[in-house]
Amino acid sequence: MTDVIEREIKVKLNVDPQSLMEKLLQDGYVYVGKETQEDIYLNGDTRDFRKTDEALRIRLVNDKIELTYKGPKMGSRSKSREEITVSLDDKDSMIRILEKLGYREAQSVRKTRHVLKKGEFSVCIDIVEGLGNFVEIEGIDIDEEKLLDFFKEFKSRFGISGEVITKSYLELKVEKLASSSN
């Protein structure tokens, strides 16, 4: 669909997601919608995306199916990556074609995402299966400085104290699986 620089900042929620949502709505945020997302991550047979810091993902969101490639992180303080996405009609066939090209299902992450908007920023409240609750602030093609300022102001206004998490849900999940198998 589009080729954009997506910048995002994420933090683990130390407040209740429902009450945060209510506060945002009172503050003039617009509720965009709720999505049930299943992300299937693939990895290469001869190319380890954990090492190259790339990602290849099939996302099922409501009735849509998307294939996304994410390039290595570019920013240092927020998370910026090149993203290329196409919409398609058949998850299983796409997975089978990618298998033929040497890419295989590695992990999946399921979450419920509530999306709210204010100006150029999207605020996503994510309830992630097996990982907990997070808030992710996203901006498309915006300045890193601007996103960081918005984030700082956001945290103080809504009483969120967590540290910035630069890891993806996939990385957090892999980490958790590794530590629980020790």
Q: Which residues bind a second copy (CB under 8 A)?
A: 1-3, 44, 47, 54, 56, 67, 69, 71, 84-90, 93-94, 96-98, 100-103
CB of 118 to a second copy, least distance (A): 28
Q: How far is the CB of 87 from a second copy (least distance, A)?
A: 4
Q: Which two tokens stand for residue 79?
A: 């998370």
Residue 103 or 154: the one with the smaller Cβ distance to a second copy is: 103
Q: Which residues belong to the active site?
A: 41
Least Cβ distance, residue 110 to a second copy (angstroms): 22
CA distance 163 to 148: 13
Residue with Cβ nearer a second copy (61 or 84): 84
Distances in Å between the Cα of 55 and the Cα atoms of 1, 66, 155, 179 are 17, 13, 29, 22
Nearest-CA neighbor of 42 among 94, 117, 118?
94
Residue closer to a second copy by CB (options 16, 53) is 53
Q: What's the rounded Cα separation, in Å, for the pair 108 and 165?
A: 19
